Structure 1
Amino acid sequence: MQASTYAIKASVCFDARNRRRACVLAAGFANTRSVALNCNFTSNNSICMRDMGMKLTRATQGVETLFRSTVKPRSVKAQASAGDIEEATPFKPQAKKSSGVVLPFVGVACLGAILFGYHLGVVNGALEYLAKDLGIAENTVLQGWIVSSLLAGATVGSFTGGSLADKFGRTRTFQLDAVPLAAGAFLCATAQSVQTMIIGRVLAGIGIGISSAIVPLYISEISPTEIRGALGSVNQLFICVGILAALVAGLPLAGNPLWWRTMFGLAAIPSILLALGMGLSPESPRWLFQVFLHDYISHI
């Protein structure tokens, strides 16, 4: 391949006023030259050098001003090896337009974040009433088990969420995650013993542990680059929304002591919506590429 040579041509147009300015500048350079010649016949060289420096400075500033006011950007022509002339237009980056196509799917994924916050906050208002209902009002140890069993399940779920997402895909993992979320909510709402309550809380904890791993993963992989940073903070926002929803759901407890069962049962609704919504959501492009690359390498 022949090496390409590029010739950049620029043209400067002078109007009548700029021509007059150029003549004045030329006279200034000529006057500077005459000062330099006179220095050869004088004995005081310092005075001559000072005068010549001042005149050169004025002339240089005038040239910069002249070119700054007259030079205009022109299209650059690039000459290739075969003598072809190609017009090179200046690069203008196109404005990126944020697409709202992914927003419904991000909203579906954020149901997992809402459930994360809801299960964390729902026990705060309901613990006193469920303890009386289950007969453990004086047993603080069992009450502690009911509270902390959610975090124990979340620890297990957080370790398995990533591997499940890589094996089954992001949307299928969401649908699998809805099973322990809904089952845990149902067991907690219908519990007649402490053991059933703890099992329900563990299942709900496994569900929120898995969702804590795959919700930000899925959102970041389906979001366009220009709004990826903004959508990345949506997960934390909806966790706070879930905690707030749990606190609001506990307001009727003062008038209805058995309302705590309804509070836990309400968590099954977002779980079902999560499973149904992920059936209509697209799979992560990154996971699809990983599957394609694995199949391609395995057939080589």
Structure 2
Amino acid sequence: MADSSGGGGASKLKQSRSFDGNDAYIRADKIDLTTLDIQLEKHYTKGWTKDKAASGGGAPQGPREDWEIDPLKLEIRYVIAHGTYGTVYRGTYDGRDVAVKSALLQENGNPPWKLSLPHICVATLVSFLFGYHVSVVNEPLESISLDLGFAGNTLAEGLVVSTCLGGAFVGCLFSGSIADGIGRRRSFQLSALPMIIGAALSASSNRLEGMLLGRFLVGTGMGLGPPIASLYVTEISPSYVRGTYGSFIQIATCLGIIAALFIGIPVKDVTGWYRAFLMISSVGIILIVMLLLRCGWFCGWF
């Protein structure tokens, strides 16, 4: 991998990767997950001025101008090269293709665990919802069967409980390619769409078929979210706490199951209350989507 630590790093990287002339290159030794503050000289590759970099021009030898990178304009998509001195990612900055070099941090020591903890907590909310939806119909199942007219039909009751797992299987099949194609954060947001639609459909349906379709859509989002959450947690966790943070995924799943069981106890014998019980998950889904807007796309330690 071409090293971009010097002034000619960008041209070497361009030649080795065959990027077009409109590409820009951002170098970073360390990217803070909260601000994505570019620590290494805080500007496009050495020798570039702000105007030249913004216009996609070459690398003039004029004076450098330090400037901040707007974190909301930087989107990381996938890894394009690994090397001794770091990793190069492909993404976009303000709508333009960029390559972002993030140097490994062995020489800088371990980053504080507090930097990544808020992002870990947001990611594990997806697993919490997975556990919630797995068990959300267990307690009010009798009430649901009476309301939708399939009381005593054990096959229908089993389908209501397990259809979401069929949807989760479908979602899992595509989770990896989606995460690599559009990035981790957008994948989280995409997984929220079928979960919101499915929860609304399940809560408003007056027929068994509508309930099953809603549960299947919820399951699709469930299948997309947790695998990407595991990948995201692994990528943004500093190595010395990666195992601890990785366990948060399963802890959140178990807490979601427990929460659904406890919330369902007072409503299991009240016909119709299960609808609010199903819709309440939409609040958590919307919360995740909003919090993800403040989360980092990736980090610089592995």
Same topology, TM > 0.5: yes
Q: Deviations over 1:79-117 (max 9, x none)?
A: xxxxxxxxxxxxxx9984642011111111111101100
Contact 2:137–2:161 (Cα < 8 Å) also in 1: yes
Matched with 1:265 is 279
Q: Aligned pair 1:192/2:206, yes or no?
A: yes
Quick check: 1:166 aligned with 2:171? no
Counterpart among 215, 219, 224 of residue 210 in structure 1: 224
Root mean square deviation of aligned Cα: 2.0
CA distance in 2, matches of 1:95, 1:163: 33
Report the secondary structure of 2:240's partner residue.
helix
Tell me the SS of whatever aligns to 1:125. Answer: coil
| 3-state SS, counterpart of residue 234 of structure 2 | helix
1:148 to 162, 181, 184: 162
CA distance in 2, matches of 1:184, 1:100: 35
Q: Is the 8 A contact 1:181 1:203 kept in 2?
A: yes
| Distance in 2 between residues matched to 1:95 and 1:222, nearest whole Å | 16
Residues 254 and 164 of structure 1, relative CA distance in 2, 3 Å threshold: closer
Q: Which amino acid aligns with 2:223?
A: G
In 2: Cα distance, 1:163 partner to 1:256 partner: 43
Q: Say if 2:122 is the partner of 1:105.
A: no
| Separation of aligned partners in 2, 1:215 and 1:97 | 21
1:283 aligned partner: 297
C-alpha distance in 1 between matches for 2:296 and 2:183 = 11
**Equivalent-residue separation in structure 2 for 1:114 and 1:258 (angstroms):** 24
Question: Alignment partner of 1:281: what SS?
Answer: coil
Which amino acid counterpart does residue 229 of structure 2 have in structure 1? V
Structure number with higher helix proportion: 1
Matched, 1:233 2:247: yes
How many Å separate the matches in 2 of 1:196 and 1:94?
Answer: 55
TM-score norm. by structure 2 comes to: 0.61
Unaligned runs of 5+ in 2: 1-106
The structure in which a higher percent of residues are strand is: 2
Q: Which residue does the alignment assign to 2:234?
A: 220
Is the partner of 1:110 in helix, strand or coil? helix
Q: What percentage of aligned pairs have identical amino acids?
A: 39
Aligned pair in 2 of structure 1 residues 186, 169: CA closer, same or farther (>3 Å)? Answer: same
Q: 1:103 to 1:168 in 2, by over 3 A?
A: same
- TM-score normalized by the length of structure 1: 0.62
Q: Is the 8 A contact 1:98 1:227 kept in 2?
A: no
Give the greater-gyration-radius structure (CA).
Answer: 1
Q: Does 1:125 align with 2:139?
A: yes
State yes or no: 1:243 paired with 2:252.
no
Structure 1 distance, partners of 2:158, 2:128, is 23
Structure 1 stretches of 4+ moved >4 Å: 93-97
Aligned counterparts of 2:228 and 2:254: Cα–Cα separation in 1: 18
Counterpart amino acid of residue 265 in structure 2: L
Instruction: Give distance in 2, aligned partners of 1:95 and 1:283.
Output: 22
Alignment partner of 2:138: what SS?
helix
Evaluate the alpha carbon distance shift between residue 254 and residue 138 of structure 1 in structure 2; reply closer, same or farther with a 3 A threshold.
Answer: closer
